[in-house]
A and B are shown apart, each in its own frame.
Chain A
Amino acid sequence: MIEAQGYFLHLAGTLYLLLFLCLCCSKQQKFFCCQDESSSRIITVTLITAILLKIFFPLGQWFLPAYFAVLEARAAVAIFMAMLAAIAVSYLEIRGGQKRLYLSLLPVSLALNSFILYWPYTILLLLDLVLLNMVLLIYLHSAGGKGLLRFCTVFFLFFAIWIAVSINGSSFLEKTFESQQRYKVHSKLKMLQKRFVDLERAGSSMAKIIAIMFTGEDTGLDYIARNKSEYLGKLRLLERLSGVSGIYLLDKKGHAILESDDKPNSYGLASLPIFRRAISGSSGISFLATGQGSNSFFARPVIYKGEFAGALLLRYSLSKYFMSDFEQEGIFLIDRTGKVILGPSAAGIQRVTLRDGNQEVLSAADMEYGVESPVLGEPGVSLVPYKMIHIPLFGGDWSLVKLYNPSALFKLRAGLSFVFFLISLVLMLLFLRMIYAKEFIARLEHEIFERKKAQKARELLADVVDQAIIGILIADKNLEIQYVNKCFQELTNYTLNDLKEMTLFSLFTGISGEHYSSLQEAVSGGIPWRKRVTGIPRKDDSRFDADVSLFPLKSEGGRIQNFVVAFRDISHELALEAQLLEAHKMEAVGVLAGGVAHDFNNMLAVIQFSVEIAKKNSEPGSPLWHNLDEIERTVQRASSIVRQLLLFSKGKKAPLIKVNLNQVLHDLETMLRQIAGTSIEIELRPGSGLWDILADKNCIELVLSNLMINARDAMPEGGKIVISTYNLNKGEKFGSGGFFADQDSVCLEIEDNGYGMDSETKAHIFDPFFTTKDVGKGTGLGLSVVYGIIKQFGGRIEVDSMPGSGTVFYIMLPRPGDDTEASHLLPGHGVETRFSGYGILLVEDEEMVKNIVRLALSEKGYRVFCASDVGEAQNLLNRHEDDIDLVLCDIVLPDKNGLALAETLRKYYPEKKIVMVSGHMEKGGAPPELSEQDLPFLAKPFTMADLFGVVARTLSSSSGVLKN
C-alpha cells in the first residue's frame, strides 16, 4: 500500500503532466515548440499514457485491489508501460529532427512510472516529480526564453513548497488519525491482554489450591488413582466453583489420573508443551485450538515428597471467557505461526492463517473468508486492504491480533487528496492563465513594437516625401489635392490651402496642349505618365519647367485611390545644358577661328613682308608708298582681328600670374572712364578681402575694355555702369538668374542700365562676328574674345539681361589653390643684334613665307638654308652642320612637328640655336610645350624687326635658349 505522500506525489505528478499536456495542446502557437506534427502527437500520446499510469496506481488500489495485489499483474502493466515508453523513445530518436532534451526525458518519466508500479517507492515518485519539473522547465525555456523560465521557476518553487506543505500536513493529519485509530484498537487489545494475564494468574492460584487440596503427606497420585471416585466429586465441585472448564491430573507419563470431564485425551494433553514444562518443575499457560473449540490450558507440577509425581492441568474454554470480546471487536488469538486459535466465529475464520512470514499487513486477497465476514467490515469497503495490529502474549508465543479496516483513513485521505487536487488545479489553472497572459502581453508588446516601427517608418517616409528635393503632390481619385510637400510649395509658391479649391489639372493650365491632353488620358486611364513640361504656372503667374511624373496608387482590388505627381525642377539643369551647348559651340567656333587665323597669319606675314620690301624700294611720300602704307595698316588691323580670333579660340591657358582684381580695377580706372565717356557714370564697388586670382593683366584689361565698350554702346543716351567685385563661395547663389558658383571664385560684376537684351540676342552674344551694332561699328569679336579669355583663366561668364532693364555680366574667376604657381610669360621681344654671316636653317612649309623670310634674312647678311619639312631640314643639317648656327623652324610642318626637330637638334646638335615660329599663337604668347622646353618663339605674323630681333638675341645667347 502506498502511503499518503505517495498519493500526493502521484497527484502532483499527474498535475504536472496535465499542465504539460495543456501547454502542448495550447492553441498558443508559441508554446507548441514542436512544430513537427508527428512528434507532437507522440508527445501527446506519451503524456496521456503517463497520466493514465499515474492514475492507474492509486485507482488500481482502490478499485482493483485483488488484481493490484498480485505482483505479476503489476509487473505486467509495468512491462507494458515500459515497452510503450521504449517505443516512444525509439520513435522520437528515429524521427530525429526535433531532438529536444525534454522529448527524451518524457519517456524516461514514463518508464520511471512503470517502475513505480512494480516498486512503489517514494523516492522514485520524487525522482519522477523532479524529472517532470526539469522537463517542463526545459520545455518552457525553449518555448519562452529566460523571462518565462524565471517566472516558471518561481511558480514551480512555490508549487513544490505547496506540495511539500500539503504532503507534510496531510501526512501529519493521517498519522494523527491513524494513531488515534491504532491507539483505540491497541487499547482494546491491551485490555484483553490484561484479562489473559489475569486468567494466567487465576489459573496459577487455582492450580496451587487444587494441588494443595488433593495432595497430602500420605496422599500421592497412586492413592488418588486408587480412590478416584472419592476425589472426582471434589474435582467437579471445584470445576464449577472456579469456572474452570476442565481439571486434569496426569502422571509423569501423561496418563490421566483424575479428570473433571471424560475426554482429556482428546485434547492431547500429554503432548502439550506446558505438560512437559510442568513435569520439569515449571508452571505455565498454553493456548490450543482443538476440534471442539479454543482452549487455554494452565499446567503446574505436582510434587510429592520432593519428587515430581505428575502435572495438574486446568482447561479454560476461551470461547466461554473471551468469545464475546473476540466477536465484538474482531480480535484474533494467533500462535507463533500465525494460526488462528480463537477469532470471530463467522465463516470459519479460525482455520485461516493470519500471518504469512513477516507480512504484517494482510491484503483482502489473502482474506478470502474475511471479505465476507461482517466482523471484518462492510464488504463494500473491504476493497481496501485490512490493517493488522497485534500485541504479543506471554513472551510472544501468542499474539492478540485485531484487523481493522482503514477505510476511514482512506476516506480522510481521499478528502485531503481532493482538497489538495482542487487547490493544485486552481494553482495550475492560475499558472496557465498567467502564462497565457504573459504570452498575450508579449504578443501585445511585440505588436506595439511593430506598430511603432511601422509608425516610425511611415514618419520617415512622410519626412522623406515632405523634405524631398522634388515637388510631390498627392491627389485623391477625384483629383482633389490632398497633400503637397515643401519642395512643391517652394517651387510653385502654392500652399495646401491654396490648392484645396484646385484640381490636379488646374495646376497644368497653360502647358502645351499635347502634354495636357496626354496627361488627361493618363489620369483617366490610370496609367503612369512622365513628361518634361515647360511653362508650368506658379501662383504668381511666373512659370517653371519640370520633369513631371504622375502615377496612380491602387488598392488591393486594383481600384485607384490616389494620384501622386512628382515635379522635378529642371531650370538649373536646362541652364547647365545651355551652358554646355554654348561651350561646345564656342569650342567648335574656336577651332574654326584658330584654323582660319593660322592661314590668315601666313598670308598676312607675306603681305607684311612684301609691303615692307616694297616700301623700301619706293619713295616715301610717293603715291605708291602711301598705298603701301595703307596696305600695311590694313594688314596690321587684319592681324589684330586674327589675334583676337586666336584669343577667343585658344582653349589653353595663357601664362598667368596672381593678380588682385581690385588692384587691376584701380589701375585701369582712368582708362575705363575714358572708354565710357562723360555721359556715363562709372561706379566702382571693390569687394573687401577679395581673393587673388591667376590671370594676365593685359587680358583683364582687354576683357574690361570690351565689356565697357558694349555697355557704353548699350547706353547711347548715357547711364550708369557699376563695376563690383566680390568673393563667391562654392555653391553660393548670385545674380537674379539663379546662378550658383561651382567653385570658390572672385566675381567681377559689370552692370549697366542700358536697353538690355532679349533672350535671342543673349543666346548669341559670345558668337564670333555676332553683333547688334551697325555695320562698321563692331567686329563682333569683343565678347567672343572676353569669353575666350575667361575660359583660358578657367573662369565662367554669365549674363543676366532683360530688354529695357539693363545688362549684368558676371565673370567668375577661380580662386587659386595655395600651391598654385603663376606661370611667367616669356618675353617675346628682344634686342636686335646683327650677326652678319651666320648660317640660318629656315624650316617652313609655306612657300611664300619661306621665300620672303629667306629674302629678308639674306638681305641682313645671314646665310639662309631653306627646308620645307623636318626630313629636309635634317638632311641640310647633316650636310651643312658647320654652316648652320641657328634653326628657324615652323611648328606645324607636313611630315613632323617642328618640336621634334628641336628635340633632335638638342640631342645631336646642342650648340645649334633654335627659334620656333607659329601662326597659331597670339603675339608674345607661346604654346605650353615651348614654355616647357624653354625655346624662343616668334608668333606669326611678325614684322622684320621682330624676326631680326629674335634671331639676333638667340644667336647672342650662350646656350641657344633665350633665357629671360
Chain B
Amino acid sequence: MFRFLHSADLHLGKPFGAMPDELRGRLREARHTVLDRLAAQARAAGAETILLAGDVFDTETPSPAVQRQALAAMAGHDGLRWILLPGNHDSLAAEALWAGLATSRPGNVILATEPAPFPLADDVVLLPAPCTTRRPGRDLTEWMDMAATSPGTVRIGLAHGPVQSFSEDGGASDVIAPDRATRAGLDYLALGDWHGQMRIGPRTWYSGAPEPDRFKHDAAGRALLITIPAAGAAPAIEPVETGSFDWRTLALDCLAGEEPGAHLAALLPIGPARRQTLLRILATGRTRPPARARLEADLKAIAPEFALLQLEAQELVTECESEDLDQIDRAGALRQAAETLLAESRDEGRSSSEREVAREALMRLFSYCAAAA
C-alpha cells in the first residue's frame, strides 16, 4: 500500500493586484499557509509524500522571499516528502528558479525536473513529466509509455497541463492524452493545471488548487488523498479540504415585481465565515427601479462583513413602468425628461451602450427625485 497527497497549482507569490490592498495581503498569506494545511492533511491521513503537480510558483521568477519561505515551510514539516514538478507557470525555462531551488532545497524537498523514473519507495516509481517551457507544444507524458519498471512496481505519473479542452489557457495542440494512465500502465496519474478538482478517469485526476484564486470554479480549496493498495489495484481517492478563502458566485435571478433581496439573505453565508468569503453576486433577470435601489442599498450595508462583495448587474435589466415614472412626476417637464430617457432606453434603433446610458440616467433621476422626496 502506498498513500500520498496529490495537490497542484499553489501559485505561490500570486500578486492579486486587482484586489484592495488589505485583502491582497491576506490572499497572498493564505497561499503561503496552504503548505501547512496540506502538511496537516497528509499527517492526519498518515501519508508521507506530497506530490505537487506543477505551478507551485506563480511565475518563473518568484521573489527570493517567496522561494525561501516556501522551502522553509516545507523543511519545517519533518518526516514529510515534498515532490515539486515544474508547471507551465514555473517551467524548466525558469533555469534560475530551478537552479536556485536545487542548491537551497532542504533534504525533504525533491525536484522532479527530469523525465526519468524516480523511486518513491521500494516498489513505487514516480514518472514525472516536467514542463520544459511555458508551452511545450507536445504531450510530455508520452515517454511514460516506454518507461520500463520491474513487474509489480506501482507506477505513478505526475504531469501538468490541459487534457483535451480542459485548459486554463485554452490551446489544444499540446494536450495530455486523457487515457495516458491506461496506455502507460499507470496506477495513478496526478495532474495539475485545472484549478477545479476534476476526475478524468478512474486513475486520473486533477487535484484542483488547494487555495482557490478566482471565482471560476466556485468551490472550496481541496487536495486529493490517494491510496494505492498494490500495483494494478484501483486507487482510493478522497478529497480533503485545504482552502482558507471561499470564492463564491451567487446567481440571483430576479423577476419584475419581486423583491430581489428577499431570498438573497438565505443564500449568504452567515457569521464569521463571511470574513473568509469573496462573494460575487451575478444578478440577472428583470427588476424595477425601487427594488434595484433597495438591492444595492442592502448589499452596500452588508459588504463590509465580507472579504469582498461584488454585484455584477450587467445582465439585470431594470425596467420602468409608468407608475415608476409617476414617482418622478405625474406630468410636466420632469416627467417628459423621464419619458424621453425611457423611450431611448427601449429604442432598438440605438446602440446598446446608448440605451444603457439612457437607462442609467433614468435610474439616476429616480434616485434624485427619491432623495428630494
| Physical interaction between A and B | no
Residues of A within 8 A of B (CB): none
